[in-house]
Structure formats: C-alpha cells, structure tokens
Structure 1
Amino acid sequence: MSGASLRAALASRVVVADGAMGTMLQAQDPTLEDFEQLEGCNEVLNVTRPDIVRTVHEAYFSVGVDCVETNTFGANLAALAEYDIAERNFELSEAGARIAREVADEFGARDGRQRWVLGSMGPGTKLPTLGHITYGKIRDAYQTNAEGLLTGGADALLVETTQDLLQTKAAVLGARRALDALGADVPVIVSVTVEATGTMLLGSEIGAALTALEPLGIDMIGLNCATGPAEMSEHLRHLARNARIPLSCMPNAGLPVLTKDGAHYPLGAPELADAQENFVREYGLSLVGGCCGTTPEHLRQVVERVRGTAVTERRPQPEAGAASLYQTVPFRQDTAYMAIGERTNANGSKKFREAMLEARWDDCVEMARDQIREGAHMLDLCVDY
C-alpha cells in the first residue's frame, strides 16, 4: 500500500482514475459457470476469472491513468446477500484488490511511474435511513469489505456512489475501523451521487452531505455517477467554495438515453475531457475519472488534458452549520438571539425520556414540533440516557 505517496500526489497535482468497469467485464461474455451460476455478480469473477478483470485494469493503465478502482463495487453485505454469499465479502474484496495491485505494480515496474489502487466500496441495495437494514450491521460489513481491500493492497478506500448519508457514514466508520484493526493509514475518499433532480436519492442537498461527512475525517469528497458533468457543475461549485478537503469528480458519459438495445451514454471522449479540464481549472479538483458509459478512450483524452497539472489553489470560505438529512443550516442568526429547544433531551425532560424509553416515537416527534411552533431555531436532540 502507498497511501502516503497517493496523498502527496493528490495534494500537488491532478491524479486521473479509470472509467466504467461493469460494461467492459460484460463485453467479454463471461459464462454462467464463470459467475458460479450467480449471473451478474461481477465480484465472483475476481476468483473465477481474474484474467478478465486484469484486462480491464490493463486497458485503463495502458491509456495513462494513474489509478484504477477494484472490481468490488458489489462486495458488500446487501448486494452479496441477494446472491446468498454474504460470507464471501472478505474473500472477494481481497481478491479484487490483489488483481488490481498486481497490474498496477507491473505497469509501475515497466516505466518507474507509480500507479495506485482505489478500493471500491459501493452503496449496496439497502438504505438504512429507510429501514431496509440496520446501521450496525452494514457498518460491520463495510469493515470486513475494507479489511479485504487493504489486505489485497489497496492504496485508498473509495466509498462511492452513495445515496443515503447514513449508509455513507456506516461505510466511512467501517473503513476507519478496518484501518485501525490493520494498523494501516490510507486515504478515505467519499464520492456522493446527486441525481438529475439536484439532490441525492433520499433528498439530501450537496451542502447537507458536506456538513455531515467532512467532520468524519475523510480525506476527499466528490461526485460520481447518475449524471454527466453538465449536471454536476453547480454541486462542484458549492464544494469548491465550502470544502476544506480536496475534491474529486467522476461523471457518467452524459445522461443515459434509453434505446431498444439498452442505455446509451451520449457524451463523447472530447466532451468529457473538455469538462474535466474545465472542472480542474475552475473548481480545483485533485482526482478525476469517469463512471458509467466512460471507456479507455474517454480516459485517454482526459489524461492528455489534465494528468500532472498542478492542483488549482482554492480559497474556501466554509461556514459552520448543522445538517439534517436534507439540508445544511448555517449558524447564522437572523434574529437577535438563537432559541434552542431543549425538551427533546432525555436528560432534561422527563416527559421526553419516558416517551423515548416506551418507544412512543409519535409523542417524541410531537414534542419537537411543539418547540418549533413556539419559535425554536434549533432542537437539542439527546437520547443518551
């Protein structure tokens, strides 16, 4: 693992990652036997057909990218459980990282230029905020996922395509626990997915994501998937103005167009390269790459434009605030005082404490609403009793 060298590179120059993986794996027509009868579970190919996975990494390194993502997007509890192989989380994560590590080291040995491996930690298919799965269960599974990636040689942990801030937090804390358990020190990168609607899947604005995630001690925040670069610009602008940490962007090749042959991504390689070059200059990105629909040719042209470019200096002016699931609220007083409602504190309100201990959640919520109606600007919610 070369976490220190990757951190140093990201602080000084633009680093280029790879593009889409799933489509390139499928293009090689793996058989049902290759999938061990688990059709569509790409992570199984790390064990049964590492040669196929290698060719994807080789294709991206051949066009000049600095780092590749592991074939572990679905190596998490929720996704693997759908195939009844949740117990193979560590095995598939470690195998995916090991393949990428071997290819990265081979390319590095040829020309002396260091290549890095980003350990992909995908969102899974269950959202804890909606009650699909418990927070503790996915946090612990993400720790297993991360331990496998680190054991296989990942230089960073990339919590990507996140749609639910509680799921994102579970992945980040799982990653942190894995680093502690193994005594490792590599960057933890978070890449959130903002839909064409302008928010994450559950309605979170980019400001809420930044306010909630930056204090977790992550090394970088950015955007990937769902849209092309055009739709990401406003959200990147917010991050550039407010984030204290480095930024990344890995867009799709435009918004997908549905055809009789499936989804088609319309953005060509020159257009993606134009957009990433502009983002690097305007928003001070440190890490760029591609997501769905992007190919080695897309990334070859991005490499030609931006790799090795010095990171544009940003002068962020972050504003302290608090976030709900949906939005960030700056600590800005529009009135002469800030009223904080304290009746939702189990240590200060007997009524709230009893309702909480008896699981009368509607009563708890109504107490909060009463304070808002009475003019509270913020609520002190404390259930630590």
Structure 2
Amino acid sequence: MLIEDALKKRILVIDGAMGTMIQRYKLSEGDFRGERFKEWHLDVKGNNDLLSITRPDIIEEIHLQYLHAGADILETNTFSSTSIAQADYDMSGLAYELNVAAATCARNAVNTYLQTPEGKSKGQVYVAGAIGPLNKTLSLSPDVNNPGYRAVSFDEVAAAYEEQIRGLADGGVDLLLIETIFDTLNCKAAIYAIKNFYQKDGRKELPIMISGTITDASGRTLSGQTLEAFYISVSHANPLSVGLNCALGAAEMRPYVQELSQIAACYTSAYPNAGLPNAMGEYDETPHETAHFLEHWAAGGFVNIVGGCCGTTPDHIKHIADVVREIQPRKKPEVATTL
C-alpha cells in the first residue's frame, strides 16, 4: 500500500530515539571500531551511525523492537551520515557507505518483522531515510565577531546531502525524511539535493517528509523563522508531510502542532522528546505521559503521523500506538489556509 493511502485511513506511528536505545547497550570504543576500524587514528565512540557497519546486529535489533512496539515508519540510523558531519571523525569518505548500510539494516529488520504473525497481519511498514541538520549552518555564523562568515557554502551542503540521498536510495528506503531542521536554508539545500539527484538519476522521486524544530518558547527556529514562515519556505518541495520534532517535550510543543495543523496543505507529523531534559541531560517523561499528550493531539485532529524523539523508547512508541489506533487522522485539506 502506498503510504498516502495508509495516511488517509489512520494515524501512522514513526519510531522513537535511536541514540537513547544505543546508550542502553553500554558499548565500548571497540564495539564502535569493530575489526575494520581497529587501528583508526581517532576515537570513534559516539559515532552512532558507524554502528550500521560495525554492529549492524544492534541496529537491526533496535529497529525490530520499534516494529514490535507498533511503529509503521522506521528511520534509518543516518542522522549524521554526511561527509560534513563525519568529518569530525575523519570519516567523510564513508558517507555513501554509511547510508547504504543503515538503509540495509532497516530493510533487513522490516523483512524479518514481516515474516512474523504480527508482521503478516500488519502487512506494510515503511523505511524513511533520515537526513539530519548537519553540524554547520548556512544561516548563522560560528564567529560572533564576523556575522557574515559561513563555515560552509550552499553548494557544499547540497553536494553532501546529494551523496547521502544516493546512498539511501541505493539502500532501498521508501521515503526521505529531512528532520530536526533548525536552519531552513540547510533544509532547502537538502530539498535542492533531492530534486537534483532524481533529475539526474532518472528514478521515480521518493516522497519527502520534512520536520522542523522549534527551539524555545519564542516559537521560532534557531535561525529565527516563525512556524508559518518555515512552512511557507519548504512548501515548494510538495512534501508528503511537514511536522515538528525534538527540542521540546509534548507539553511545550502542543500549540505549534495545532498551528501547523491549521496552515499545512499536506499531512502533518509530530514526534516530541520525552519531556525536557533534567539536570543530568536525561529524559524522565514516562511512556504513559508522552502517549497522553499525543492522544489529545490526535483527538483534536492535529496530526497524521506521531512518534517520539530524544529519550523515547519502544515502550513510549507502544503506548503512543495503542492510544491513537482508533482515532481518525487529520483530514488533509484541499487548499492551505492562513492564520
């Protein structure tokens, strides 16, 4: 079933945090290195995307936990799988391979799940190629004394994203998810890269999901856009969905999810953190609490896709899936409205 057909019928559930789950395995530097990178000249512990190559068993196991919890959409383990982000580990040359490997892990998990009685009854799940925000921005200067300076150019960002997109497509993803956007110009570079890749490649373009991040109570992205301005800035991509994730917990995100539901001409998504981090940087919101917030969003007709971001686990996703299962999805409007 095409994902748009599924979205017309019910609210779909996207998975939860990958990093939170990886932390539970208490992995060592050796786990991240594996045999292949045993003699690598830099420490690589913390490069979670590398595990798609060195410990694919763990990544597939995490994906399976989310599938059994009720996820309809799996995100690939590729949040930092660009040449720009991997430069921190001097692994820029692995970018394409990381994306193929991560997409393969997700696809393997889906194939395994669909062979189970539970998977056979469900019949369809989708793999979304996760395209993260980068550790360099196009709208903001890293030098407070030189506001016009940029650490990277639009062409460099677009080229890095295009390499990632090629790897995700070759790995067999069903969707492309540009997520955790705090700089809309980076997002526009990713959109440009998608269009450019498919124009050159000749394959049918995959549906695009876009998810921004409201960083604080101002209701703006880090680069200064209001939610409506952000939506207008990316709507030219004709996305399958536009939504919000990360930065805020569900309690803080609610007014922005409601606003987006009123202005978006496409489907809407929301996957908040498990509350706000505590003094130790950990997330304390229980699965029941997170699900309670998202149930209200669903009942209010705000969302088509829900799930979890930082701090969420398969338990969170199971509770979310359970509470939205019988709630009708937000109806996609024929024409966008303005506030």
Q: Distance in 2 between matches of 1:286 and 1:209?
A: 19
Moved more, 300-309 or 37-46: 300-309
Does 2:65 match 1:59? Answer: yes
Counterpart for residue 120 of structure 1:
130
Counterpart for residue 313 of structure 2:
295
Q: Distance in 2 between matches of 1:78 and 1:307?
A: 39
The superposition leaves residues 231-286 of structure 1 with CA deviations (integer Å, 9 ceiling, x where unpaired) of 1112112211111000000000111111xxx3121221112111111112224311
Q: How far has the Cα of 1:169 moved from its partner?
A: 0.5
Counterpart for residue 142 of structure 1:
161
Q: How far has the Cα of 1:177 moved from its partner?
A: 2.6
- 1:46 aligns to what SS in structure 2? helix
Q: How far has the Cα of 1:206 moved from its partner?
A: 0.4
Q: Distance in 2 between matches of 1:307 and 1:92?
A: 34
Q: How far has the Cα of 1:195 moved from its partner?
A: 1.1
Counterpart for residue 161 of structure 1:
180
Q: How far has the Cα of 1:217 moved from its partner?
A: 1.8
Question: 1:182–1:48: structure 2 CA closer, same or farther, 3 Å change rule?
Answer: farther
CA RMSD of superposed structures (Å): 1.8
The superposition leaves residues 168-207 of structure 1 with CA deviations (integer Å, 9 ceiling, x where unpaired) of 1011221223334250332100000001232111221101
8 Å CA contact 1:7–1:187 kept in 2: the answer is no
Counterpart for residue 220 of structure 2:
199
Q: How far has the Cα of 1:319 moved from its partner?
A: 5.1
Superposition map of 1:188-337 within 5 A:
188-197=208-217, 198-258=219-279, 262-307=280-325, 309-313=327-331, 315=333, 318=336
Aligned AA (2:318) = R
Question: 1:182–1:35: structure 2 CA closer, same or farther, 3 Å change rule?
Answer: farther
Moved more, 179-188 or 57-66: 179-188
Q: How far has the Cα of 1:301 moved from its partner?
A: 0.6
Superposition map of 1:298-377 within 5 A:
298-307=316-325, 309-313=327-331, 315=333, 318=336
Task: Please list every run of 5 or more consecutive structure 1 residues that lacks an aligned counterpart in the other structure.
Answer: 321-329, 331-385
- 1:313 aligns to what SS in structure 2? coil
**Matching residue within 53, 57, 64 for 1:47:** 53
Aligned AA (1:134) = S
- 2:136 aligns to what SS in structure 1? coil
Q: Distance in 2 between matches of 1:308 and 1:155?
A: 25
8 Å CA contact 1:143–1:178 kept in 2: the answer is yes
- 1:194 aligns to what SS in structure 2? coil
Q: Which of the two has higher C-alpha Rg?
A: 1
Q: Distance in 2 between matches of 1:308 and 1:168?
A: 34
Aligned AA (1:23) = T
Q: Distance in 2 between matches of 1:64 and 1:319?
A: 33
- 2:176 aligns to what SS in structure 1? strand
Q: Distance in 1 between matches of 2:82 and 2:8?
A: 30
8 Å CA contact 2:77–2:130 kept in 1: the answer is yes
The superposition leaves residues 147-182 of structure 1 with CA deviations (integer Å, 9 ceiling, x where unpaired) of 111111111111000110100101122122333425
- 1:257 aligns to what SS in structure 2? coil
Aligned AA (1:167) = N
Aligned AA (2:294) = Q
Question: 1:317–1:229: structure 2 CA closer, same or farther, 3 Å change rule?
Answer: farther
- 1:161 aligns to what SS in structure 2? strand
Counterpart for residue 6 of structure 1:
3
Counterpart for residue 147 of structure 2:
none
8 Å CA contact 1:121–1:159 kept in 2: the answer is yes
Counterpart for residue 98 of structure 1:
104
Task: Please list every run of 5 or more consecutive structure 2 residues that lacks an aligned counterpart in the other structure.
Answer: 34-42, 141-149
Q: How far has the Cα of 1:224 moved from its partner?
A: 0.2
Counterpart for residue 323 of structure 1:
none
TM-score scaled to structure 2, two decimals? 0.88
Counterpart for residue 185 of structure 1:
205
Does 2:139 match 1:129? Answer: yes
Q: How far has the Cα of 1:315 moved from its partner?
A: 4.8
- 1:299 aligns to what SS in structure 2? helix
8 Å CA contact 1:242–1:317 kept in 2: the answer is no
Counterpart for residue 88 of structure 1:
94
Q: Distance in 1 between matches of 2:109 and 2:74?
A: 10
